[in-house]
Amino acid sequence: MKDPHDVIIRPVLTEESYEGFPEKRYVFVVRTDANKTEIKLALESVFKGIKVDKVNTVRTMGKIKKQGRTQGRTPEIKKAYVTLKEDSKPIEFFEGMAE
């Protein structure tokens, strides 16, 4: 198994993700080759005491950017929308952020 800290890259902190905190719904940027089971196990091992109910993932292709004659592509990302179970405690890291 991969190291849990390598699977989860960072949390997504936007107004839309803040709206999901009361319903125990969180958004994370994860590795593009991570599957739902790896994401669930990584979150449960990093944040002690939580129980993941379901994981939904979205892959976003990078945009093409041009500057003069050269062009390139921004990196592709994968986001995981994680919902915790009803009896699970919320993630302490996000407590008090969306008030």
Q: Is residue 35 part of a domain?
A: yes
Assigned token pair, 96? 């008090």
Q: Is residue 55 part of a domain?
A: yes
Q: Is residue 63 part of a domain?
A: yes
Q: Is residue 93 part of a domain?
A: no
Is the pLDDT score of 99 beyond 70? no
* Cα 68 off chain centre by: 34
- The answer to whether the beta carbons of residues 74 and 65 sit under 8 Å apart is yes
pLDDT at 90: 87
Please state the domain count of the chain.
1
Nearest to 57 by CA among 83, 75, 93: 83
pTM equals 0.87
* Domain span at 81: 4-86
Is the pLDDT score of 96 beyond 80? no
Query: The domain that contains 67 carries what CATH number?
Result: 3.30.70.330
Q: Is residue 99 part of a domain?
A: no
pLDDT tens per residue across span 53-62 = 999 999 999 9
pLDDT tens per residue across span 27-40 = 999 999 999 999 99
Q: Is residue 97 part of a domain?
A: no
